[in-house]
Amino acid sequence: MSDATVHLRTDQLSAMYGKFSAIKNVTLEFPVNKVHALIGPSGCGKSTFLRTLNRLHEMTPGAWITGTVELDGQDVYAPAVSPIKLRRRVGMVFQKPTPFPTMSIFDNVAAGLRIHRKLPRTELAEIVERSLQRAALWDEVKDRLKTSATALSGGQQQRLCLARTIAPEPEVILLDEPTASLDPQGTQRIEELMHELKTDFTIVIVTHNMQQAARVSDTTSFFYLGDMVEHGPTKAMFTRPKEPQTEAYITGRFG
């Protein structure tokens, strides 16, 4: 696909999630097959914005949104759009690994595939294996697929959650600080996977780690106090920021 093709776009998006986390009038475009980083201090609206992209914020009482979010030209907030079906197209991985504790490794990966259709066991097994391979976990778990997912290490659990997210073949993957609770080795593996997976998916990641944003992303947006201050190619943002606030944050003068 051309880099100009837009998978996901927000227009004049404002939202409230929780008591203090709000964003105002954010307009962004996410080109396909790129990694896009959202950076900024805690409480500036990054995760709120991320949750609006697949309507996950709706699960919190009192949350609201104005403006539009479009996926392939369709407003995802249109009355005819099912949030459950949308989340198959826009998957999400959270800060802390969230394997389903009562399910095996196999069933964790297969969970999203079983929601809307019944697949033959052979086809299901093939998709689970392929997803675990793409998440760089297959070789570590292929002999214990029927064991509990909670027996895995933290880094393995996060890669399992990634495998579960990509199994239904979404168009977009949302990552909310996916390495915040991992050790350096686990962090490095997730970052390597982002480079590999962007050939098939559009990825949007929230991160507090400036070095991580510089390493993994193609474009970056800086949020501060609910406003999107600056957006652009990551290399330019980190070497020649246009806004004084962006430069102050990137260089560590606040945040």
Nearest to 156 by CA among 175, 141, 173: 141
β-bridge partners, 22: 16
Q: 8 or 204, which is more confident?
A: 204
Mean pLDDT of 178-203: 95
Q: What contacts 51, CB < 8 A, 6 or more positions away?
A: 17, 57, 176
Amino acid at 108: N
Q: In angstroms, how far is CA 20 from the centroid of its own chain?
A: 22
Residue 115: predicted pLDDT: 84
> What is the C-alpha separation between 190 and 184, in angstroms, rounded?
10
Structure tokens at 187: 């962090």
- 189: pLDDT strictly greater than 70: yes
This prediction has a pTM of 0.93
Q: Which residue segments constitute the domains of the chain, with CATH numbers given? A: 6-100+171-250 (3.40.50.300)
> What is the C-alpha separation between 120 and 101, in angstroms, rounded?
25
Coil, helix or strand at residue 254: coil
Cβ-contact 248, 79 below 8 angstroms: no
Over residues 221-244, the pLDDT tens digits come to 999 999 999 999 999 999 999 999
For helices 184-197 and 154-166, angle between their N-to-C axes, nearest 10 degrees: 20
Q: 19's torsion region: left (phi>0), alpha (psi -120 to 50) or beta?
A: alpha
H or E segment to which residue 231 belongs:
strand 227-233
Residue 62: predicted pLDDT: 85
Mean pLDDT of 139-147: 97
Provide the b/e sequence for 6-36 (b: ≥16 CB within 10 Å).
Answer: bbbbbeebbbbbeeebbbbebebbbbbbbbb
Confidence of residue 4 (pLDDT cuts 50, 70, 90): very low
- Burial class from Cβ neighbours inside 10 Å (0-12, 13-18, 19+) for residue 56 reads buried
